[in-house]
Amino acid sequence: MFLKGVEDYMIPCINKKIFGVECLGCGMQRATALLFSGHFEAAFRIYPAIYTIFLLLAVVLVNFFVKFKFDYQIKIGLILLNAIVMVVSYFIKMEQFI
C-alpha cells in the first residue's frame, strides 16, 4: 500500500533516460520504499547496498551528537564498504543483462 503511493513521486534516473544504462544508484529509491514498508529481502535484491548506506547514515547521525574514538576511520571504512558493495552489485546486475 505504502509503496504504490510513493512510486508516483520517485525521481527517474537521468543516466538511464539519456544513455539507456542504469547508474550505480538505480534502485535506491525503490529499495528504501521497500525497506520502510517491511520488505527487507526484496529491498536487498533490488539494491544490496541499502543496508550499508543506512548503517553509514546511522553512524554519521550518532557521531553528530556523540564523539567516539576512531570515528573518522569508521566512517571512511563504511564509505569504502559502500563503494565496493555498490560497484560489485552493479557489475553483477549488468552481467545479467548481457
What pLDDT score does 21 carry? 83
CB 80 within 8 A of CB 92: no
Question: What DSSP designation does 12 have?
Answer: P
Tally of CB atoms within 10 A around 95: 8
pLDDT (tens digit per residue) in 4-14:
677 778 888 88
What pLDDT score does 97 carry? 66
Q: Is 47 exposed, middle or buried (0-12, 13-18, 19+ CB in 10 A)?
A: buried
Q: What contacts 44, CB < 8 A, 6 or more positions away?
A: 31, 50, 51
Domain around 30: 2-97
How many domains, in total, are found in the chain?
1
What pLDDT score does 2 carry? 56
What pLDDT score does 47 carry? 93
Distance CA 73, CA 79 (A): 10
Distance CA 32, CA 7 (A): 11
Is residue 20 very low, low, confident or very high in pLDDT (cuts 50, 70, 90)?
confident
pLDDT (tens digit per residue) in 26-56:
889 999 999 998 999 999 999 999 999 999 9
pLDDT (tens digit per residue) in 66-94:
999 999 999 999 999 999 999 999 998 88
